[in-house]
Amino acid sequence: MTLEHVPITLIGGCGPHGLALHLWMRDRGLDGAYALVDPAPTWLPTYGDGGLARFTEWLRSPRELDFSLGDPERAMTAWCDADGSRPLQGVYGLDDVTDPHANAALPPARRARRRAFLRYAQTLARDSGADQHVLRAAVRRLVPAGDGWRVELDDGRAFSTRVVLLATGLAPHLRVPEPWRPWWRQLPAGRAELALRADADPARLRSRRLAVLGSSNAAAWEVAAWAARAGAHVTLLCRRGAPIERQLPFDGEWFRGAYMRAFTALEGRERLRRLKRTHVPSSTLPGTPEAAREAGVEVVWGARVRYATELWGGVQVQWSDARGERADRFDLVWAATGGTPRPRELPFLADAVGAGRGPVVVGGPARGLPVTDGQGRWQRLPPIYPLGHLALPRAGLAAATLASAGTYLPLILPDVLADAGVDPGRRALRGAPQPLEAAA
Ligand SMILES: Cc1cc2nc3c(=O)[nH]c(=O)nc-3n(C[C@H](O)[C@H](O)[C@H](O)COP(=O)(O)OP(=O)(O)OC[C@H]3O[C@@H](n4cnc5c(N)ncnc54)[C@H](O)[C@@H]3O)c2cc1C
């Protein structure tokens, strides 16, 4: 691989997809064929203490959502931490949770602690030499060029590539709800932030009055409890009457390779119909309200936020709840309102996919996401494969989880190699890779 031309380029290369691609390619001796482009200084930044998931203590993932990729020695359950312990050994599996609400009753010992999972992934990255494939920069522009792409980085470097794998995650798509936008943008910078991206320095939060304007998703509850423990006086304006979560694994089938493969083989319209029809049960993680209360969070149930405005250097929030119209003043407000992935709005892609060149789904649960061809490439463009949440219309409901990296990505890699002109020989057909040479 030279920097003039790279066969396969993964954008978002330090996330789970980048690590999974590296392990899969390395297992097959295809070291020179790919670049992992990412400005992040560490692996899996979303799961680190500065990442979007930093308020999450326990992941919702079953043990199958790991980086084994066919090698049991690389499974999260087999991973040995630096102190000799195996903190992910007891994590529940898909077969343990046939009841879609079972996750709500699983004790901590059966769950993956975020920090342990991160150490597991970082150990795999280090021991497998993943860093040498990383181009430490952000993609500034992606330009269609013949039957491939020209990749321009924000440090001035540029190169051509045949295939792009798009795995930039949720961070570029965080949002406040449409009706809030007129007043939200008038609020003073530094007083009103998106919770998952907020400056959560405890010194900044201590003794401050913080309103978390939430949907009722578990992430909003985690944010509120975390900020309260950091010393803020937190009020959670919770839209519903209970914390809710689309539980993982809602229906284990969606996470299994065979099911995912069968789903990808369906005709596009049928896939969208199934996505629309499938009910994802919501339930509460055990102890969520208790943990928030113990941390000192004041919860206002059924709060509909109407308006917020600057007042005396802080923010006055107005809302309605069962007691009528109410208002209070806070030092800070955080919107814990999640994200809406809209790949057409990615700044580095906007030119390439504008004017109808990159078609997207127009309605339903996959609205705004790429329409792909039979192989999973975004239609009407040189080869570009959406991954993670962006692959929801093709991979199904598990696309928004780690299953996209460990299960969906390996399914599409034979086509990716073919598009990139990389001949894997017989190695690509190998079922299980060689065990990881952990100490190498
Ligand atoms: C609060 C929260 C909790 C979650 N909990 C779970 C869970 O318990 N289990 C689970 O399976 N999933 C969970 N998820 C979903 C999680 O997002 C996915 O599992 C996974 O991290 C998505 O992988 P990804 O590769 O798509 O994106 P990410 O892991 O977000 O990685 C995106 C990468 O893209 C890079 N990037 C962004 N822009 C550019 C650019 N212009 N150029 C180059 N690189 C760029 C970023 O630096 C980053 O490294 C959670 C998500 C959130 C927000």
Pocket of ligand 1 (CB under 6 A): 11-12, 14-17, 37-40, 45-46, 52-53, 56, 59-61, 65, 138-139, 167-172, 196, 219, 348, 387-388, 400-402
> Residue 114 CA: which ligand 1 atom is closest?
8
Structure-block tokens of residue 36: 């992992």
Question: Which residue's CA is the closest to the ligand 1 atom numbered 2?
Answer: 53
Last residue of a domain, one of 336, 352, 377: 336
Please, what is the average pLDDT of the chain?
Answer: 91
Same domain, 311 and 348: no
Give SS3 for 161: strand
> Residue 346 CA: which ligand 1 atom is closest?
41
Same domain, 209 and 139: no
Q: Determine the Cα–Cα distance for residues 427 and 413; give it in Å rounded to an integer.
A: 13
Last residue of a domain, one of 290, 305, 336: 336
Question: 321 φ, ψ to 5°?
Answer: -145, -165
- Testing ligand 1's pocket by substitution, the residue of 11, 120, 159, 170 carrying the most ligand atoms inside 8 A of its CB is 170
Same domain, 118 and 161: yes
Residue 257 belongs to a domain:
no
As a whole number of angstroms, the longest Cα–Cα distance in the chain is: 69
Residue 436 belongs to a domain:
no
Same domain, 89 and 218: no
Same domain, 60 and 141: yes
Same domain, 309 and 390: no
**Domain membership of residue 240 as a residue range:** 175-247+282-336
Same domain, 9 and 84: yes
Residue 439 belongs to a domain:
no
Same domain, 152 and 90: yes
CA 215 to ligand 1 center in whole angstroms:
20
Same domain, 67 and 152: yes
Residue 265 belongs to a domain:
no
Question: Which residue's CA is the closest to the ligand 1 atom numbered 6?
Answer: 59
Same domain, 408 and 320: no
Q: Is the peptide bond before 249 cis (omega within 30 degrees of 0)?
A: yes
Question: Which residue's CA is the closest to the ligand 1 atom numbered 10?
Answer: 401
Nearest CA to 198 out of 56, 337, 45, 334 is that of: 334
CATH code of 45's domain:
3.50.50.60
Residue 258 belongs to a domain:
no
Q: What pTM was computed for the model?
A: 0.93
Same domain, 313 and 353: no
Residue 274 belongs to a domain:
no
Question: Which residue's CA is the closest to the ligand 1 atom numbered 30?
Answer: 169
Quick one: how many helices (H) and strands (E) in the chain? Answer: 12, 15
Same domain, 372 and 323: no
CA 233 to ligand 1 center in whole angstroms:
29
385-389 long-range Cβ contacts below 8 angstroms, 24+ apart: 385/163, 385/164, 385/165, 385/166, 385/412, 385/416, 386/166, 386/343, 387/12, 387/17, 387/165, 387/166, 387/167, 388/12, 388/15, 388/17, 388/167, 388/168, 388/169, 388/170, 389/169, 389/170, 389/341
pLDDT digits (tens), the chain, 440 positions? 557 899 999 999 999 999 999 999 999 999 889 999 999 999 999 999 999 999 988 898 899 999 999 999 999 999 999 999 999 999 999 988 777 667 667 888 899 999 999 999 999 999 999 999 999 999 999 999 999 999 999 999 999 999 999 999 999 999 999 999 999 999 998 899 999 999 999 999 999 999 999 877 888 888 999 999 999 999 999 988 777 766 666 688 899 999 999 999 999 999 999 999 988 766 666 677 888 999 999 999 999 999 999 999 899 999 999 999 999 999 999 999 989 999 999 999 999 998 889 999 999 989 999 999 999 999 999 999 999 999 999 999 999 999 999 999 999 999 999 999 998 775 554 544 433 333 22
Q: Determine the Cα–Cα distance for residues 419 and 402; give it in Å rounded to an integer.
A: 25
Residue 309 belongs to a domain:
yes
Number of domains in the chain: 2
Residue 204 belongs to a domain:
yes
Last residue of a domain, one of 271, 306, 336: 336
Neighbours of 363 (CB within 10 A): 9
Q: Radius of gyration over alpha carbons of the chain, in Å?
A: 22
359-365 long-range Cβ contacts below 8 angstroms, 24+ apart: 361/272, 361/393, 364/272, 364/275, 364/276, 365/275, 365/276, 365/392
List the beta strands (DSSP E) in 279-355: 298-300, 304-311, 314-321, 324-330, 332-336
